[in-house]
Structure 1
Amino acid sequence: MRIEIWADVVCAWAYIGKRRLEKALADLAPTDAGAEVVWRPFRIDPTTPDQAVPLEEARRDPLVDAALRQCAPGLSPDENQVRVSRIAADEGLGRRWGAAWRASSHDAHRLLFLAREHDGAALQNEVAEQVLKAHFVDGDDISDRRCLKVVALRSGFAEGAELLDTDAGDREVRELLLIGKARGIATSPTIVVGDRALAGAQPPEAIAAFLARAEPGREMPQEVRRLRWAESLLDQRDPLGALTLLKPLLRAHPDDLNVRRAAARGYFHSAQLSRALDVLEPLVDDVPDDSYARLLLGRTLQRLGRAKQAAPHLKVAAAMTPEFA
């Protein structure tokens, strides 16, 4: 069974969730002794600057303070830190606890991705442990590559220390962040098995119950899954993210009608009107009874100032699908 943990390594609940998952798996053994735990990236604060800021200083920023208050309604950031520290101690994470930096986790996620690519889930899990320990126990700045290189060496991943100075894993991590968004991941951590998800650092017994009921999920070609993720991002009004996920499909399946429709939506809604037109005109020629493609073509021509050319397409689209009128 593959267990995905979608989490941000600067999220205290990710570390607590890791311990609770480990306890749940220990309780389920030996039935799930072969479980593979895979870490996936999530960003709880995409606005974090590349250069880390001491957390005490960051808390003086009203926007950061407001975000921290949203994490624990009814508690001040200091009260919430005390609460989380007590929970972390109960989970065996030590009495000395608490992040010292508001740090970007992007390079840490790269290191995690590269660890799994290099030597599988066990190495990745060890890197995750060492990154979380560095951030929450040692008070290190994990946005600093020098710190991450020490983490890599400590984890037995010397190659990772060298790869950090390249762009290795950057594209893949950014794509995984989009996939997580497309799949509806909105909480760190979220445990996913197949098509089912458990949000939050739930108690070990809740995680164990979730895993006991988990199923691998429906088998689906990777191309179909990627197309659905792209369509999900379009529905979430993220056309640029959708186009990023569509790139491999446009290369491998340029004639597929569903891929072309999704690309047309992405180009139109990201105001890339010339590209939208390049896709829509041949699409309407190939599928003249596609009312939505005609609607999109008409609106694209309108935005380009070509109202006379747009009118026939809009009229046909409305005749075929009245709600398009």
Structure 2
Amino acid sequence: MRIEIWADVVCAWAYIGKRRLEKALAGPARADAGAEVVWRPFRIDPTAPDQAIPIEEAYRDPLVDAALRQCAPGLSPAENRVRVSRIAADEGLGLEWGAAWRASSHDAHRLLHLAREHGSAALQNEVAEQVMKAHFIDGDDISDRRRLKMVAIRSGFAEGEELLDTDAGDREVRELLLIGKARGITTSPTIVVGDRALAGAQPPEAIADFLAGGDSKREMPEEVQRLRWAESLLGRHDPLGALALLKPLLDDHADDLNVRRIAARGYFHSAQLTRARDLLEQLIIDAPDDSYARLMLGRTLQRLGNESQASLHLKMATAMTPEFA
């Protein structure tokens, strides 16, 4: 069974969730079942500065304070920190607990990705352990590559020391963040098995019950899955993300009508109107009965200020599909 953990390594609940998952996997129901745990990136603080700042200074930022209050309604940030620290201690993470820095986790996610790519899921899991220990227990700035290199060495991933100085893993991590968004991941941690997801650092018993549901998943070609993810991002108002996921399909399957339709929507909703127009004009030549393509072309031409041509295509789209009126 493959168990994916979509989580941010600067999220306290991710570390707590890791311990709870380990307890669930060690239980009698799962002890001999075998499982591959794979860490996937999530960002709870995508606006964290490249240069880390002391956490106490960050807490004085009104925006950070407001975000923390939303995470724990009814509690002040200080009260919530005490609560989380107690829970962490109960999970065996020690009494000395708490991040010292508001730090970007991007390079840490690169290190996790590279550990699996160049090593194994087990190595990646150890890197995740050591990164979160550094952040929450040792008080290290994990956005500092010098610190991350030490983490890599302690984890048995010496190769990661040199890889961190390159852009290795950068594209893959950014793409995985988009895939997570397309799949509806909104909480750190979220455990995913097959097509099922369990959000939050649930108790070990709840995790064990979830895992007992198995890992059934509808298999589909990678190209179809990528197309669906791009559609999902459009539905989540992220046209640039949709285009980023769609790029390999545009490179390799540029003649596919579905690929071109979704790309045209991405260009339109990201205000790349000239690209949308060019793609749609060719699309209605190749598929003259595509009323939706004509509708999109008409709306694109409207936004480009070409009312006369826009009117022609909108009338044709309505005649073909009256619901477009």
**TM-score scaled by length of structure 2:** 0.98
Match of 1:213, SS state, is coil
Match of residue 225 from structure 1: 225
Match of residue 322 from structure 2: 322
Deviation, structure 1 residue 249: 0.5
CA distance in 2, matches of 1:132, 1:170: 20
CA distance in 1, matches of 2:311, 2:65: 52
Structure 1 unaligned segments of length 5 or more: list them.
none
Match of residue 23 from structure 1: 23
CA distance in 2, matches of 1:116, 1:26: 22
8 Å contact from structure 1 (residues 114, 169) kept in 2: yes
Match of 2:89, SS state, is helix
CA distance in 1, matches of 2:80, 2:128: 24
Does 2:40 correspond to 1:40?
Answer: yes
Q: Write out aligned runs for 1:3-18 (5 A).
A: 3-18=3-18
Match of residue 167 from structure 2: 167
Q: Give the aligned residue type for 2:83.
A: R
Deviation, structure 1 residue 13: 0.2
Deviation, structure 1 residue 176: 0.4
CA distance in 2, matches of 1:297, 1:155: 54
8 Å contact from structure 2 (residues 2, 215) kept in 1: no
Does 2:74 correspond to 1:77?
Answer: no
Match of 1:243, SS state, is helix
8 Å contact from structure 1 (residues 196, 214) kept in 2: no
CA distance in 2, matches of 1:45, 1:153: 26
CA distance in 1, matches of 2:322, 2:241: 31
Deviation readout 1:173-218 (Å, 9 max, x if unpaired): 0000000000000000000001100000000000000000132311
Match of residue 111 from structure 1: 111
Q: Size of the alignment, in residue pairs?
A: 324
8 Å contact from structure 1 (residues 11, 188) kept in 2: yes
8 Å contact from structure 1 (residues 98, 136) kept in 2: yes
Match of 1:73, SS state, is coil
Match of 2:217, SS state, is coil
CA distance in 2, matches of 1:169, 1:42: 15
Deviation, structure 1 residue 29: 3.2
Match of 2:4, SS state, is strand
Q: Give the aligned residue type for 2:39.
A: W
CA distance in 1, matches of 2:33, 2:217: 17
Match of residue 201 from structure 1: 201
8 Å contact from structure 1 (residues 189, 201) kept in 2: yes
Q: Give the aligned residue type for 1:283.
A: L
Match of residue 301 from structure 2: 301
Match of residue 86 from structure 2: 86
CA distance in 1, matches of 2:223, 2:25: 32
**TM-score scaled by length of structure 1:** 0.98
Deviation, structure 1 residue 285: 1.1
Match of 1:214, SS state, is coil
Deviation, structure 1 residue 60: 0.6
Match of residue 124 from structure 2: 124
Deviation, structure 1 residue 293: 0.6
CA distance in 2, matches of 1:285, 1:31: 59
CA distance in 1, matches of 2:12, 2:263: 38
Q: Write out aligned runs for 1:124-163 (5 A).
A: 124-163=124-163
Deviation readout 1:19-70 (Å, 9 max, x if unpaired): 000010111334422x100000000011111110100011111001011111
Which stretch shifts more, 16-25 or 278-287? 278-287
CA distance in 2, matches of 1:314, 1:140: 59
Match of residue 190 from structure 2: 190
Match of residue 311 from structure 2: 311
CA distance in 1, matches of 2:245, 2:216: 23
CA distance in 2, matches of 1:283, 1:163: 43
Q: Give the aligned residue type for 2:298.
A: G
Structure 2 unaligned segments of length 5 or more: list them.
none
Deviation readout 1:214-248 (Å, 9 max, x if unpaired): 32311111110010000000111110000000000
Aligned residues: percent identity? 83
CA distance in 2, matches of 1:140, 1:205: 32
Match of 2:119, SS state, is helix
